């Protein structure tokens, strides 16, 4: 046992889409392997909170929209940490949680895979972290001078990506997708900013798909509500299109089964495609420069701008992606569990040392 009776950990997970929640749940699973009795509670909102609940975690849902205001975010996180009375706060890209924890006398550890200008408030908030676990390799971002000595580079961090050929064949069989068909998979992401209302992509992809030279082809689109209902209705007469709702326990098989994956601004899926050796195309709506920068760095990915392409251009790049060798990997370790183990072991060290819960 590494925890004491009544000892609790508060994990603040950014609620933007599914990606943060799925990765943070995997880190939580890794921690629970060492101590099944670990009292770990997530704090989140929006799609993230919903996803964590569906994955079976105890979640304090802040009941905030994904595009919440800074002050709503601060008030919600403050209440949650105070009510939870944790002995350690872990925060993944929710910068405000770190100074809040410091104010309440609780050590805080921050997880991230990006830095911005050192003058921004969200970067300056990280001064109050005990340590910053950077979920990537060093050298891609400038380190603020005031964070020197606080940053530990953990390498690329993934959930469990174990997969074999039998899993891929079973996935297609269960969804009536021919094994020998060319499968174009679209995983736009679950954030509100990636919805069809705010970032429409369906018509462009469908037009490009229809002019692909391959006859034996399938378009699979994985999306949550309300887009699931909208796209299901629009594609009802198409036997070569399958619209699926996300299955968080089967994401690896879904990605690994595809011949090409198309995303919007969804870098976690792009990185996972790179680790799995699956070619991808990211279509940016210019809403997140950090994601755009990361998308360029993944060698299995073709980064495009939505306003710079039409169906002919996109079709060309799909054909280009299909020609990529399936075993091509990013310059990241093929041991996709290594980074997750490093993060979990570092956090366990803080859990061992955090022996005094927050006083009433």
What percent of the chain stands above pLDDT 70?
Answer: 94
Q: 86 with 128, same domain? A: yes
Q: How many domains does the chain have?
A: 2
Q: 89 with 104, same domain? A: yes
Residue-wise pLDDT for 145-164, tens only, equals 999 999 999 999 998 887 77
pLDDT surpasses 50 at 4: no
Residue-wise pLDDT for 96-151, tens only, equals 999 999 999 999 999 999 999 999 999 999 999 999 999 999 999 999 999 999 99
pLDDT reported for residue 342: 94
Arithmetic mean of pLDDT over the chain: 89
Has residue 86 been placed in a domain? yes
Has residue 329 been placed in a domain? no
Distance CA 217, CA 210 (A): 9
Q: 113 with 219, same domain? A: no
pLDDT reported for residue 2: 38
Q: 65 with 146, same domain? A: yes
Residue-wise pLDDT for 195-213, tens only, equals 899 899 999 999 999 999 8
Distance CA 287, CA 238 (A): 31
What is the strand order of the sheet 151-153 is part of? 59-61, 39-44, 8-13, 88-92, 108-112, 131-134, 151-153
Q: 155 with 175, same domain? A: no
pLDDT reported for residue 8: 87
pLDDT reported for residue 246: 87
Residue-wise pLDDT for 314-327, tens only, equals 999 999 999 988 65
Strand partners, 243: 221
Q: 303 with 349, same domain? A: no
pLDDT reported for residue 332: 39
pLDDT reported for residue 169: 86
pTM of the model: 0.86
pLDDT reported for residue 253: 87
Owning domain of residue 210: 165-322
83: left (phi over 0), alpha (psi -120 to 50) or beta: alpha
pLDDT reported for residue 1: 35
Please choose, from the candidates 66, 107, 103, the residue with its C-alpha nearest in 3D space to the C-alpha of residue 88: 107
pLDDT reported for residue 325: 80
With beta carbons less than 8 A apart as the criterion, state whether 10 and 80 touch. Answer: yes
Has residue 330 been placed in a domain? no
Average pLDDT over residues 30-55: 93
Q: 216 with 304, same domain? A: yes
Q: 295 with 192, same domain? A: yes
Has residue 3 been placed in a domain? no
Q: 53 with 186, same domain? A: no
Distance CA 224, CA 49 (A): 14
Q: 280 with 317, same domain? A: yes
pLDDT reported for residue 248: 74
Helix, strand, coil tally for the chain in percent (to 5):
40, 15, 45
- Most distant CA pair in the chain: distance in Å? 67
Has residue 1 been placed in a domain? no
Q: 108 with 127, same domain? A: yes
**Higher pLDDT pick, 143 / 189:** 143
Has residue 191 been placed in a domain? yes
3-state secondary structure of 222: strand
Has residue 360 been placed in a domain? no
CATH label of the domain that carries residue 106 = 3.40.50.2000
pLDDT surpasses 70 at 360: no
Has residue 359 been placed in a domain? no
Distance CA 279, CA 8 (A): 41
Q: 180 with 80, same domain? A: no
Task: Give 37's pLDDT tier (boundaries 50, 70, 90).
Answer: confident
pLDDT surpasses 90 at 268: no
């Amino acid at each position: 046992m590494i925890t004491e009776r009544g000892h609790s950990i508060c994990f603040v997970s950014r609620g933007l889409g599914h990606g943060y929640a799925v990765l943070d749940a995997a880190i939580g699973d890794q921690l629970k392997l060492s101590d099944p009795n670990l009292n770990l509670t997530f704090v989140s909102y929006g799609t993230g909170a919903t996803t964590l609940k569906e994955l079976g975690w105890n979640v304090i849902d802040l009941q905030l929209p994904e595009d919440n205001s800074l002050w709503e975010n601060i008030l919600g996180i403050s209440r949650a940490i105070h009510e939870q009375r944790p002995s350690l706060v872990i925060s993944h890209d929710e910068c405000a949680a770190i100074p809040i924890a410091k104010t309440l006398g609780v050590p805080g550890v921050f997880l991230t895979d990006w830095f911005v200008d050192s003058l921004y408030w969200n970067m300056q908030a990280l001064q109050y972290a005990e340590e910053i676990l950077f979920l990537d390799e060093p050298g891609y971002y400038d380190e603020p001078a005031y964070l020197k000595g606080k940053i530990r580079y953990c390498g690329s961090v993934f959930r469990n990506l174990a997969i074999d050929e039998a899993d891929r064949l079973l996935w297609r069989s269960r969804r009536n997708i021919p094994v020998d068909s060319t499968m174009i998979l679209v995983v736009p992401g679950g954030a509100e900013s990636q919805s069809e209302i705010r970032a429409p992509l369906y018509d462009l992809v469908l037009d490009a798909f229809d002019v692909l030279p391959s006859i034996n082809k399938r378009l699979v689109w994985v999306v949550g509500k309300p887009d699931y209902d909208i796209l299901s209705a629009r594609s009802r007469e198409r036997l070569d299109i399958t619209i699926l709702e996300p299955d968080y326990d089967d994401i690896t098989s879904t990605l690994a089964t595809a011949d090409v994956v198309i995303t919007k601004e969804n870098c976690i899926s792009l990185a996972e495609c790179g680790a799995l050796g699956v070619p991808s195309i990211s279509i940016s709506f210019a809403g997140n420069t950090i994601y755009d920068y990361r998308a360029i760095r993944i060698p299995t990915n073709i980064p495009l701008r939505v306003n710079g392409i039409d169906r002919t251009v996109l079709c060309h790049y799909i054909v280009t992606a299909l020609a990529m060798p399936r075993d091509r990997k990013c310059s990241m370790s093929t041991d996709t569990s290594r980074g997750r183990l490093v993060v979990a072991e570092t956090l366990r060290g803080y859990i061992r040392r955090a022996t005094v819960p927050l006083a009433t």
